[in-house]
Amino acid sequence: MRVNKYLAACGLFSRRGADEAIEAGRVTIDGVTAKPGSQVDEKNVVRVDGEEVRPAGKKIYLAFNKPRGIVCTASRKEPDNIIDCLNYPKRVTYAGRLDKWSEGLMLMTDDGDLIDAVMSAGDVHEKEYEVTVTGIVRTEDLKEMEGGVYLPDLGRRTRPLKTRRIDDHRFRIILTEGINREIRRICAIYGYRISRLCRVRIMNLELGDLKPGRYRELSEEEVRRLKKMAGQNHR
């Protein structure tokens, strides 16, 4: 199989992430630096950053509540990296990021194909957030947001949004794309200062009462529904 698919099966990366690692020269096959499109099988010794890797057996699917201050990176050079914070005994990685000062639900898995499916930019996969701001939430602002918001620094408009006011300082917002710091950009345009940003749902997965820094295994039904919603079986 192609080396990027092999690395995804090992649970280290999505296929896109694997391609980036290969292009950066971090991957070797039998001691030789891998190239995009290189083929491997069970007889080859594949290493990433000098560490041998092999495909996992039964796939792992976790819901994790990322605390504020934790960085979505697998690099151990970052002392507050998400992998050490999770402290799971087997190798997994994350599907989608939250910025350092955001918190909430993360999907952690060693299923690289599912990560690719969930992260597909062309698909509409809902992610829901609870936003707390220092000012008063104005209903008219939320209604205006729902039509999509033009982001001048990026020169583009967001997809249409769904919003719901909770109280004077909190509202829910549902996104269907992965623009970097999208909610923070939107709130800045409307003059809101965010004091807390928490992701509470990814597609069919709910954060619920999971405490910060804790994880739980997904049920078979949750995984089945997630794969169906992501269209993984059709890729």
pLDDT tens for residues 9-24? 887 788 888 999 999 9
Residue 156 or residue 13, greater confidence = 156
Query: Residues with Cβ < 8 Å from 176, sequence gap 6 or more?
Result: 124, 125, 126, 127, 159
- pTM for this one? 0.78
Q: Give the model's confidence band at 205: pLDDT under 50 very low, under 70 low, under 90 confident, else very high.
A: very high
CB 94 within 8 A of CB 65: no
Catalytically annotated residues? 99
Provide the pLDDT for residue 163: 98
- Whether the per-residue pLDDT at 70 is higher than 80: the answer is yes
Provide the pLDDT for residue 232: 75
Provide the pLDDT for residue 90: 87
In angstroms, rounded to a whole number, what is the distance separating the alpha carbons of residues 106 and 71?
12
DSSP structure string for 17-86: HHHHHHHTT-EEETTEE--TT-B--TTS-EEETTEEE---SS--EEEEEEPTT-BS---TTSTTBHHHHH
In angstroms, rounded to a whole number, what is the distance separating the alpha carbons of residues 147 and 103?
26
Provide the pLDDT for residue 9: 81
- Whether the per-residue pLDDT at 234 is higher than 90: the answer is no
Q: Among residues of the chain, what percentage have pLDDT more than 90?
A: 75
Task: Spell out the domains of the chain, with CATH numbers in brackets.
Answer: 3-53 (3.10.290.10), 61-121+204-234 (3.30.70.580), 127-202 (3.30.70.1560)
**Strand (E) positions, 75-155?**
93-95, 103-109, 127-133, 150-151
